[in-house]
Amino acid sequence: MKTYGRRGQMALVAGILAGGTLGAGLLPRPARGQPAGTLREDGPKPLPAFVLTDPEGARREVPSFAGKGLVLNLWATWCPPCVEEMPALDRLAAALAAEDILVIPASSDRGGRPVVEGFYAKAGVRNLGVWLDPNSAATRALGARGLPTTVLIDRLGRERARLEGAAAWDGAALLADVRRLCGDGRAATEPS
């Protein structure tokens, strides 16, 4: 049985008390300055059916995104590595705005929209919409082992890669990977 240090136990308890089904302590967190996760290309493969709630409050299924690439980030405000990577995801969304690649941060917070809106305001997030993963249904359907987990989905609605843990999504290498896997095939490294 895995044991957690005091900090890991506190994060796990905080996640459970906040209503999370996947504790932030499930995946080991690297020390600051070390790479968090590795993008694992394992596709293309079909996606399971799941529903998200979009920024307007409507239910959206994967087929409704046909023709667009997706960076689907499964996260929660009670998850420290999720919070840490959110500014980079916000910058990624800005860099990809004109390329038909959507960055969708699907929050599994039980408090829903008000919790995410409060976090966005406090963190200065401007380019991401408030997407919700009610009852962590998408998280379970995609088989995420912890939060954050980011799934890269191509324009045909297939999973192309995923990354478990926090990442510098606005870095040149990941930006090129996102464009290559989710975009029209170009591997440009500079933001538009």
pLDDT 10s digits, 126-159? 999 999 999 999 999 999 999 999 999 999 999 9
Q: Where do the domains of the chain lie?
A: 35-182
Cis status of the peptide bond prior to 148, with omega within 30 of 0? yes
Residue 184 has a pLDDT of: 77
CATH fold group of domain 35-182: Glutaredoxin (3.40.30)
Per-residue pLDDT at 37: 80
Tokens (6 digits) for 2: 């895995």
Reduced to 3 DSSP states, what percent helix, strand and coil does the chain have, rounded to the nearest 5? 35, 20, 45
Q: Are 105 and 132 in contact (CB under 8 A)?
A: no
Query: What integer pLDDT is reported at residue 52 of this predicted model?
Result: 97
Could you tell me if 18 and 76 are in contact, meaning their C-beta atoms sit under 8 angstroms apart? yes
Band of pLDDT at residue 11, cut at 50, 70 and 90: very low
Q: Are 47 and 159 in contact (CB under 8 A)?
A: yes
Backbone phi, psi, residue 73, to 5°: -105, 120
Is the dihedral angle over the CA atoms 71, 77, 78, 79 positive or is it negative? Answer: positive
Hunting for tokens 């890991």 — which residue is that?
Answer: 8
Q: Which is more confidently placed, 63 or 90?
A: 90
pTM of the predicted model as reported, rounded to 2 decimal places: 0.79
* DSSP type of residue 71: E
Going by their DSSP bridges, the two strands 40-46 and 158-164 should be labelled as: antiparallel
